Amino acid sequence: MPNIGAYHPIIVHFAIALLVVGVIEIAALILVRRGRLDKARGALWGSAIVGLIGFFPLFEAAEHGDIVYSYAGGVGTRSGDTADVSRLYLAGLYQAAQAARARHDSARAAELFGELARRFPGDTNVRLLAIESLVRDKNDGRAALTALAQVNVAADDRRLRLRVGFLKADAYVGLGKPDSARTVLEQLRSSYPDMQARIDERLRMINNQ
């Protein structure tokens, strides 16, 4: 879940206004279906009033152009904030790497993902992208397993633990060790039974190879 405190107050106020309007509109719809038209009209008037109030944060956002550059996708090119510029650089490298992979230029994709890892060594998601590149672009499952052994993931971080597990399975497949890959996936299925369908699909892919 994103931290709402990380967003500009104007954006937060506008989002809250939209949420309130949505709740009132749903309430009005329910009242209409129940035949309580008088109360439905009152709810619609309330929605209109809140919508007008919500116009002011929108107007303020338009007046403060820096909000767009600092918060819309983390562009940050006008603010000059180093964190914003770094996010822009990260996004550019990532998109360039994905484009190279789409062109089947594995060498270039591996180079760009490696550059991402060098530039952002403290970002776990970036490290996992670089490890994925070792498997997909370099076909180096051994190096991928070595790198994965150095990634520390919190026990309660379900998303990253699944990602690490899937990468381990892919690395073992690349090394020609499908049984080890199956073992990793079976462990994942035991830990996350609600992901059984996705894990079973991975197992089927291994069995069909």
List, run by run, the mean pLDDT of 10-residue segments along the chain (209 residues): 42 58 66 66 62 53 46 52 74 90 94 93 92 95 95 90 95 95 94 91 87
Q: Give the pLDDT confidence score for residue 1 in this predicted structure.
A: 36
Query: Is the pTM higher than 0.75?
Result: no
Q: What is the DSSP string of the chain?
A: ---GGGS-HHHHHHHHHHHHHHHHHHHHHHHHHTT-HHHHHHHHHHHHHHHHHHHHHHHHHHH-HHHHHHHSTT--TTT--HHHHHHHHHHHHHHHHHHHHHTT-HHHHHHHHHHHHHH-TT-HHHHHHHHHHHHHTS--HHHHHHHHTT----TT-HHHHHHHHHHHHHHHHHTT-HHHHHHHHHHHHHH-GGGHHHHHHHHHHHHT-
Q: Give the pLDDT confidence score for residue 62 in this predicted structure.
A: 47
Q: Give the pLDDT confidence score for residue 51 in this predicted structure.
A: 55
